[in-house]
Amino acid sequence: MMRADNLQKTFNPGTPVENHVLRGMSLTIETGQFVTVIGSNGAGKSTLLNAISGDIQPDSGRLFIDQQDVTRMGAWQRAKLVARVFQDPMAGTCEGLSIEENLALAWQRGEKRGLGLAVKKAQRELFRDKLATLKLGLENRLSDRMGLLSGGQRQAISLLMASLRPSRILLLDEHTAALDPKTAAFVLELTDQIVRDNKLTALMVTHSMRQALDHGDRTVMLHQGQVVLDVSGETRRQMQVADLLSMFEKTRGEVIDDDALLLG
Amino acid sequence: MSVIALMGALEIGLIFALVALGVLISFRILNFPDLTADGSFPLGGAVAATLIAGGHDPYSACAFAMLAGAAAGWTTAWLNVRLNILQLLASILVMIALYSINLRIMGAPNIPLIGEATVFSALIGDDFDRAMTVQPAVLAAIIVLAKLGLDAFFASQAGLAMRATGANPRMARAQGISTDRMVLCGMALSNALIALGGALYVQTQGGADISMGIGTIVVGLAAVIIGETLIPSRKLWVITLATVLGALLYRILIALALNADFIGLAAQDLNLITALLVGFALVLPLIKAKFKRLSGGLAK
């Protein structure tokens, strides 16, 4: 269970570029739920994700994961609870390290790291098996440098890394935005599979309303730093992209002019 | 070049291999441009020389020198991660502070160690001629240990976490790695090695001098750059090996240049030669690529 309680965040306060991004953002995600998040640019999607992961600290409000108050914990302190896949394929992995070294880093997410060998034989076997499930032939390239892989391959490995260890919530930050449509479809399918198989609680930010409705079991729309729409269950199953649009316009009393939201 | 000059070059090259390994950790692994070396190298020398001249045994003198170096590196890292001072600036602050601290430790601009017991004394015995071979041999053993030790560390869980910290700090934090702590520890380790270099340097050179640190960082970087240019690799054990060889090669090239009478170079030209060598090492990959293109074109 993840609960965000009235989060406020202003970037560059007191300057001409002051930006009040989160304006009382509240959101509760039950265990096992897969929530998709949409919203126009500047709605606060990424900021919400970064607040949950601990990359930024909210100015006020509280954040709970299960019953634990994590509001003031740094990103590395809550890594045991939070797994994530970044938008940029370069961001989620170390390109200078080998595939198995990257996996070894994720294998110990949130654990104490000592002087024991990082990649032991047993782990190498495990990594090989896990990589084989991706069906990308990467199981034979354990010692290859991450930088040699394509964006899609790297995102697939990022997903694998995020699911190597149990987490209380998985954050997906437009993780297919930088990929070509075919690869994006593959990574999305993989996402569904991994979330389902591991019964993960997940929060996926996406730019596409289609994706938001097709994946997961609940959709929330953010606007100006707040949740303005929250649909799930039968209502959501009946919903089309057009419905989502008109609901948004009704709620806000304005017309969407963000092409990115309409397309895709 | 005479055998004596070659052994001398080897000896100093081995000492600077320690410095180069330290520089490798800060510049390449942690991605932390650190100039503390110019202060932590003489700091190690100052601590070791003062303790040895005060009658302490040379082994614990080396250990204390390393501790002092670690403290210096820790301080630079602390200024950066806790007070958000720019990396380069933080290291410059510590470097100039160390100049005064080193003078305080030594109590004088120099401390002679003639006739004092050093880490080499036990093996040299009464026959001072043996110093020429014993000193490089002992130093080589220390370097091999340091190199293998670093290789083992960087293959460990903590070592991998340190490499991730330098390569992609945001990703490292997302994996639960305290990047701040890694930078603090890595910088301490880096400067401990550099200070050990300083401690061994004063024991081979017969004394400590306050100005012995000038240009340390340039020499260390030169070794790293020469090493990675001549033996480019992504494997860590190859990189550490290349760094050690780079330091040795650098000193031998310097000795050759200074000993070749027909060129007419003298000791005061040392820094000029260093700059030329490093500059050459930096453009070498470019020359190599051009050469490859040319020969590839001919083959067609």
For residue A86, is pLDDT > 70? yes
Candidate from A123-127, B70-74, B97-101, B266-270 with smallest mean pLDDT: B266-270
- Asked whether A78 and A257 are in contact (CB, 8 A), the reply is no
Give the pLDDT mean for A105-134.
93
Residues of chain B contacting A74 with CB distance shorter than 8 Å = 173, 178
Full DSSP string of A16-29: TT-EEEEEEEEEEE
pLDDT of B187-245, one tens digit each?
999 999 999 999 999 999 999 999 999 889 989 998 999 999 889 888 999 999 999 99
A96 touches chain B (CB under 8 A): yes
Candidate from A232-236, B64-68, B136-140, B171-175 with smallest mean pLDDT: A232-236
For residue A49, is pLDDT > 60? yes
Interchain CB distance below 8 Å, A79 and B163: no
Pull the structure tokens for residue A199: 């019964």
Q: Say which of B160, B167, B172 has its CB closest to residue A118.
A: B160
Residues of chain B contacting A55 with CB distance shorter than 8 Å = 170, 173
Closest CA of chain B from A165, distance in Å? 10
- Asked whether A179 and A150 are in contact (CB, 8 A), the reply is no
Chain B stretch 177-196, residues whose beta carbon is closer than 8 A to a beta carbon of chain A: 177-179
Q: What is the chain A residue with the closest CA to B180?
A: A76
For residue B114, is pLDDT > 90? no
Would you say the C-alpha torsion B102, B107, B108, B113 has a positive or negative sign? negative
The architecture (CATH level 2) of A2-262 comes to: 3-Layer(aba) Sandwich (3.40)
Give the pLDDT mean for A86-99.
92
> What pLDDT sits at residue A261?
55
CA distance B29 to B182: 11
> What pLDDT sits at residue B265?
78
pTM of the predicted structure, to 2 decimals: 0.90
Find which of A93, A113, A143 to mutate to test the B interface (most B CBs within 10 Å of its CB): A113
Residues of chain A contacting B159 with CB distance shorter than 8 Å = 115, 118
For residue B20, is pLDDT > 90? yes
> What pLDDT sits at residue B239?
96
H or E element, residue A249: helix A241-252
Q: What is the chain A residue with the closest CA to B164?
A: A94
Q: Say which of A75, A84, A105 has its CB closest to residue B164.
A: A105
> What pLDDT sits at residue A263?
52
Q: Three-class SS of residue B111?
A: strand
B149 touches chain A (CB under 8 A): no
pLDDT of A187-203, one tens digit each?
999 999 999 999 999 99
Percent of the residues in chain A that have a pLDDT greater than 90, as a whole number: 72
Give the pLDDT mean for B128-155.
92
Percent of the residues in chain B that have a pLDDT greater than 70, as a whole number: 98
For residue B298, is pLDDT > 60? no
Q: What are phi and psi of A41, to 5 degrees?
A: -60, 135
pLDDT of A207-262, one tens digit each?
888 899 999 999 999 988 999 889 889 888 888 888 888 877 776 665 555 555 55
Structural domain spans, chain A: 2-262
pLDDT of A130-171, one tens digit each?
999 888 999 999 999 999 999 999 999 999 999 999 999 999
- Helix and strand totals (H; E) in chain A: 9, 10
For residue A264, is pLDDT > 50? no
For residue B151, is pLDDT > 90? yes
Closest CA of chain B from A111, distance in Å? 7
CA distance A134 to B96: 54
The matching CATH number, chosen from 1.10.3470, 3.30.160, 1.10.15, 1.10.390, for B3-299 is: 1.10.3470
Residue, of A35 and B255, whose pLDDT is higher: A35
pLDDT of B21-78, one tens digit each?
999 999 999 999 999 999 999 999 999 999 999 999 999 999 999 999 999 999 999 9
Give the pLDDT mean for B74-100.
97
Interchain CB distance below 8 Å, B171 and A80: no
State the Cα torsion A171-A172-A174-A178 to the nearest 10°. 130
**What is the overall mean pLDDT for chain B?**
91
CA distance B114 to B112: 6
Percent of the residues in chain B that have a pLDDT greater than 90, as a whole number: 68
Measured in whole angstroms, the distance separating CA B173 from the mean position of its chain's CA atoms is: 29
Interchain CB distance below 8 Å, A93 and B234: no
Give the pLDDT mean for B114-120.
88
> What pLDDT sits at residue A250?
72
Contact residues for A219 (Cβ-Cβ < 8 A; gap 6+): A35, A36, A37, A38, A212, A213, A229, A230, A231, A232, A236, A244
Q: How does residue B1 score in pLDDT terms, banded at 50, 70 and 90? A: low
Give the pLDDT mean for B141-167.
97
